[in-house]
Amino acid sequence: LSAYVDRARGTSTDPADIIVTSGFIQSLQLIARVMLRSGRTRVAVEDPWHEDYRRALVAAGLEVVTVPVDEEGLIVDGLSDAEPDLVVSTPAQQFPTGAVLSAARRAQLLDWAASADGLIVEDDYDAEFRYDREPIGALQGLDPDRVIYAGTASKTLAPGLRLGWLAVPQRLSRPIARAKLAADYGSGAIDQLTLADLI
């Protein structure tokens, strides 16, 4: 999986820092638990965004603020007013607008993370499937220490498979892995072997 996302999406991952989850919702819940334990409580999400995801973050105990998007993706200037600890973004193809985060905004978002000591969750839900343009590399490859990369098999295999993954900064590997173990003692091996065989 690590080799695949590095090759297909331009990430910079270490297999030791990949956590397999039961999909994007669980990925968000695990991140939220770790964030709350470290005293980080405020998360910014794109507006518009998937309402189920926003509800999952609220249910996990985070304060959710919205930042609008336009034709260049997330309006990063809005983060200064929102003052989040964490930003969830879909830079390769914003859901539901389809906007791609421009190169200037990508740089601006990474600058925000560095200056605010913030984290970015990159929801790369279907970025390997581009038929209208060349795929845009993952944001995580530009700053693996500040970007948590989240992917799923829902588009490549099937939504019902409930198989996702996180590539996390090394300092978060153990806390998120512990949260995953506490949540469900691990994702199904047969599903993981199916994905490995496909890759």
- Name, in order, each residue with C-beta under 8 angstroms of 66's C-beta and a sequence gap of 6 or more: 44, 45, 46, 47, 49, 82
Check residue 131 and give its pLDDT: 63
Checking if the pLDDT of 44 tops 90, the result is yes
Q: Positive or negative, the Cα torsion across 5, 7, 12, 17?
A: positive
Both tokens of 127, joined, read 């970025």
- pLDDT of 130 over the 70 cut: no
Strands 73-74 vs 63-70: parallel, antiparallel or unpaired: antiparallel
For residues 38 and 108, give the distance between their C-alpha atoms in angstroms, rounded to a whole number. 25
Q: What is the reported pLDDT for 194?
A: 85
Question: Cα(117)–Cα(99) distance, rounded to whole angstroms?
Answer: 26
Quickly state the pLDDT bin for 186 (edges 50, 70, 90): confident
Q: What percent of the chain stands above pLDDT 90?
A: 78
Q: What's the pTM value of the predicted model, to 2 decimals? A: 0.94
Find the mean pLDDT for residues 125-137: 72
